[in-house]
Amino acid sequence: MDVLVIGGTRFLGYHLVHRLLREGVHVTVFNRGIHGDDFEDRVERIVGDRKNYKKFYELFHRRRFDVVVDLIGYEPEDVEFAIKTFRGHVGQYIFISTGQVYLVTQNRRQPAREDDYYQPLIPCPPGEEGPYGYGVQKRACEDLLVEAYQFYHFPAVRFRCPVIHGPRDYTLRLYSYIKRIMDGGPVILPEGGDKPIRHVYVGDVVEAVLSVFQVEKTRGKVYNLASDEVMPLHQFIQLAARLLEKPLEVLEIPVSLMHEYEIPESISPFSGRWVSVLDPSLAGEEIGFRPTPVQQWLGDTIRWFVESYAGPDPDNYRYRPREQELAQWWRKMKHLD
């Protein structure tokens, strides 16, 4: 089997490539070669920028792949040219999308089911152009794939993922909490800790991707992926602390007070409006998706960060001294009650 991975060297793609190599698949990876990897000569490498659409077309329009996994389709032009390039000579084209496609719509149901997609868009909340644009652009990518399937059976399968966890997660969102638990706390949760958490493990996304290879009935379809368990944010953080074998102090502090101390909400990356909660039952029914228990993947991920991660601190960790100052004041005020 011949598989092209567009991207493939940082996090989700990296794990996917290793899994494919274990399956004995012939893997071609296409990326700019900026991020290193350890695939050695076990993969075929093509170096290029996917934004150079002409070159991309020239490189691939005569090649046949059983499967193309597109990990870095972020703008409709990316997908438009992928369709033009692979149409008629790809067995399955798998597109990695995001739960944020639901968060930019009105009447957001939680957990979101695939059909909840069909809602009018909300206007962009002030100052939220980045995450809003991400959701809107991913929708535009998905819409092109639906159209291409309807018009000429372009064999696209889409996966919508919430926050993905696992070793090599370069977003450092989970690590932001790990750092704070490890330094003795506290962890400040800006909107309180009741927000439901239902993320997904990178290994489970990889298995889902493999499970639709050459499965005709999945063409034209979209599947949510997520863990089975849902828990409030404070419980998720408690579980992380237990796995780290550290005591934990959680402080639920109003955002307005944090702003007085010039501390942004991003110190708690899983608070806030842009973290989706998805219902993965359709994937369970149709492609046999069976997610790993949270405690297991959270433990594996934490272990990797503690034992193997050697990169920089999360950017939000620079607010740590101010957080400690605020926490001290907050505790003092609570004791005055």
Ligand X SMILES: NC(=O)c1ccc[n+]([C@@H]2O[C@H](COP(=O)([O-])OP(=O)(O)OC[C@H]3O[C@@H](n4cnc5c(N)ncnc54)[C@H](OP(=O)(O)O)[C@@H]3O)[C@@H](O)[C@H]2O)c1
**Cβ-based nearer residue to ligand X, 174 or 237:** 174
User: Is 53 buried (19+), middle (13-18) or exposed (0-12) by CB count in 10 A?
Assistant: middle
User: Is 95 buried (19+), middle (13-18) or exposed (0-12) by CB count in 10 A?
Assistant: buried
Q: 197 - beta bridge partners?
A: 231
Rule CB under 6 A: is residue 51 a binding residue for ligand X? yes
Q: What are phi and psi of 201, to 5 degrees?
A: -90, 140
> Binding string to ligand X for residues 56 to 85, with x set by CB under 6 A, is what?
---------------xx-------------
**Cβ-based nearer residue to ligand X, 11 or 132:** 11
Q: How far is the CB of 77 from ligand X (least distance, A)?
A: 12
Residues within window 95-134 making contact with ligand X, judged by CB under 6 A = 96, 98
Rule CB under 6 A: is residue 8 a binding residue for ligand X? yes
Rule CB under 6 A: is residue 45 a binding residue for ligand X? no
Q: How far is the CB of 47 from ligand X (least distance, A)?
A: 8
Alpha-carbon distance of 3 to 219, in angstroms, equals 17
Q: How far is the CB of 268 from ligand X (least distance, A)?
A: 16
Rule CB under 6 A: is residue 240 a binding residue for ligand X? no
**Cβ-based nearer residue to ligand X, 176 or 248:** 176
Rule CB under 6 A: is residue 10 a binding residue for ligand X? yes
**Could you give the angle at the alpha carbon of 171 between the alpha carbons of 321 and 37, nearest 5°?**
130
Q: What is the CA radius of gyration of the chain?
A: 21
**Could you tell me if 234 and 268 are in contact, meaning their C-beta atoms sit under 8 angstroms apart?**
no
**Cβ-based nearer residue to ligand X, 60 or 330:** 60
**Could you tell me if 68 and 40 are in contact, meaning their C-beta atoms sit under 8 angstroms apart?**
no
| Number of DSSP helices (H) and strands (E) in the chain, helices first | 12, 13
> Binding string to ligand X for residues 166 to 205, with x set by CB under 6 A, is what?
-----x----------------------------------
Contacting positions for ligand X (CB under 6 A): 7-14, 31-35, 49-51, 71-72, 96, 98, 161, 163-164, 171
